[in-house]
Structure 1
Amino acid sequence: MTKGQISNILRKIRLIYLADWAHFYVERYKNQKNNLAFKKNNPDVKLPPDYLIYESFQIDYTKYYTESINTAKWVADYFSKYLDLKDKKILDWGCGPGRVIRHLPNVVGNECKYYGTDYNRQSIDWCSKNLPGISFNCNTLDAKLPYPDDTFDAIYGISIFTHLSEQLHYDWYTELHRILKPNGILFLTTQGDNFKVKLIPSEVARYDANELIIRDKVKEGHRMFSAFHPTEFMKKLFHNAEILEHYAEPIPETGNWIPQDVWIIRKK
């Protein structure tokens, strides 16, 4: 039995949350030694509660903090190809407990202004108290943000569409497009062709027919709510924008990491 089949069974019998909590405790135990060493070697680094780190990423302090500096550079490098990152407004859509946005002021600087928004109130409360110099907002799953039209020069969302229903793909894209300035850049990652290895045969057939695949039976937005994104579906979603780049990094030969697709679009 494949992991995809097991996942679908656990969703049907409503045990997926229990399985995820068990996984959290296993991962926390596995990383305990390294995480204690990180805290000892980095006493000044502020860290969110363990579950907030796990829910948004991996419960590994080095990956959450140190390696995420490289993620911030990665995002900034993509933006720099199409924008002069000076005196710009940048939004992290789905910022979680600040894994990436906390590093951008040091990575980019240049008098830019930084914003983060997320539906998890605990994450936003932690960020607001611990990450100064960044404006944070707690949104809901409904696609409504408190920013005027044409506010941001750059918006990024790392693995956010991966946890939304099909309707919210359309709703949230419309909202992000609204608050993005003309010629502004939107950076998004999705679970594209690389993730077909996680799908069961019936899902693969629908995916190959350009249907968005949704694994739900959990609260929308939760890490166990999963969406898988055919290329043609995404092109249809971005119908009113210019697609500047679509990059699918090959799956590494070693390790368990599967890279998500990168989409870079420009508002016309």
Structure 2
Amino acid sequence: MNKAKLSNLLRQLNLIYFADLIRFRIQKIKNKKANAQFKKEHPNVALPPDYLMYESYQMNYKNYYNGGLTVAKNLSGYFKKHIELKDKNILDWGCGPGRIIRHMPSVINNGCQFFATDYNKNSIDWCSKHLPNIQFNKNELEAKLPYEDNSMDIIYGISIFTHLSEQMHYNWFNELLRVLKPNGIMLLSMHGDNFKIKLTEAELSDYNKGKLVVRGSIKEGHRTYAAFHPKAFVEDLFKATTVLEHMVLTSDTKSWVPQDIWIIRKP
């Protein structure tokens, strides 16, 4: 049985949470030595509780911290191609335990203000306590943000739509557009064509017809709730905006499958 079929079977049997908890325990044991070494070498780096880290990324302290810094630098490079990074309001939508946003003030600075929001109360509580120079807010799963209309110059969401239902894609995208300023840009990552190898035959058939593929049967927004995004679906989602870039990244490793990156501009 391949992984896709096993995943769907575990959902049907209501065992997906249990299986994911076992995976967390395995990763924690596997990374114990490396994580202890990282803490020894970086005693002043604030690290979130292990499960918060795992839930949004994986159980490796070095990858969480250094990987987050690398992504922050990469995002800054993408932003600079389309907007001047000076005195801007920048929002991390779905920030989790701050893997990326914690680095943004030092990577960008230049008079910018930084905001972050997430539906996980524990993540927001931890971030608010440990990560300075960022304004954190908690949102709900419902598409509603605590920001005024046209208040953000840049919004990014890394692997957030990948855990939402089809209706929530439209609800949340409309909400993000509401708070984005005219001529502001939005960067979003999706499960694109690189993830076709992870689909069952039935899922692949729908995907190739341009239909969003969703693996649900669990709490929406959880890491095991998965959505896969054919290009036609995403283009329809973004039809009220201008698509500036669509990047299909490649990887030389079999263990990591890169998500597509979409950059759009609000009229």
Task: Say yes or no: TM over 0.5.
Answer: yes
| Displacement after TM superposition at 1:255 (Å) | 3.6
Aligned-partner Cα distance in 2 for 1:89–1:240: 22
Q: Does 1:209 align with 2:206?
A: no
Detail structure 1 runs of 4+ shifted over 6 Å in the superposition: none
Aligned-partner Cα distance in 2 for 1:253–1:173: 32
| Counterpart for residue 136 of structure 1 | 136
SS at match of 1:150: coil
| Counterpart for residue 261 of structure 1 | 260
Matched to 1:248, the amino acid is V
- The two structures have a TM-score, normalised by structure 1, of 0.99
SS at match of 2:76: helix
| Counterpart for residue 188 of structure 1 | 188
| Counterpart for residue 168 of structure 1 | 168
State the aligned residue count. 267
| Displacement after TM superposition at 1:67 (Å) | 2.0
Instruction: Output aligned runs, 1:91-240, within 5 Å.
Output: 91-240=91-240
SS at match of 1:182: strand
- The two structures have a TM-score, normalised by structure 2, of 0.99
Aligned-partner Cα distance in 1 for 2:66–2:235: 34
| Counterpart for residue 90 of structure 2 | 90
SS at match of 1:132: coil
SS at match of 1:168: helix
Matched to 1:59, the amino acid is M
| Identity across matched positions, percent | 55
State the Cα RMSD in Å.
Answer: 0.6
Aligned-partner Cα distance in 1 for 2:146–2:16: 33
SS at match of 1:26: helix
| Displacement after TM superposition at 1:66 (Å) | 1.3
SS at match of 1:243: strand
| Displacement after TM superposition at 1:129 (Å) | 0.4
Aligned-partner Cα distance in 2 for 1:127–1:46: 10
Aligned-partner Cα distance in 2 for 1:132–1:104: 11
| Displacement after TM superposition at 1:132 (Å) | 1.2
| Displacement after TM superposition at 1:133 (Å) | 1.0
Aligned-partner Cα distance in 1 for 2:24–2:249: 28
Aligned-partner Cα distance in 2 for 1:150–1:81: 21
Q: Deviations over 1:78-128 (max 9, x none)?
A: 111011100000000000000000000000010100000000000000000
SS at match of 1:155: strand
| Displacement after TM superposition at 1:254 (Å) | 2.6
Aligned-partner Cα distance in 1 for 2:157–2:208: 25
| Displacement after TM superposition at 1:235 (Å) | 0.3
SS at match of 2:122: helix
Matched to 2:213, the amino acid is I
| Displacement after TM superposition at 1:172 (Å) | 0.2
Q: Does 1:26 align with 2:26?
A: yes
| Counterpart for residue 46 of structure 2 | 46
Question: Which ranges in structure 2 are unaligned for 5 or more consecutive residues?
Answer: none
Question: Which ranges in structure 1 are unaligned for 5 or more consecutive residues?
Answer: none
| Counterpart for residue 75 of structure 1 | 75
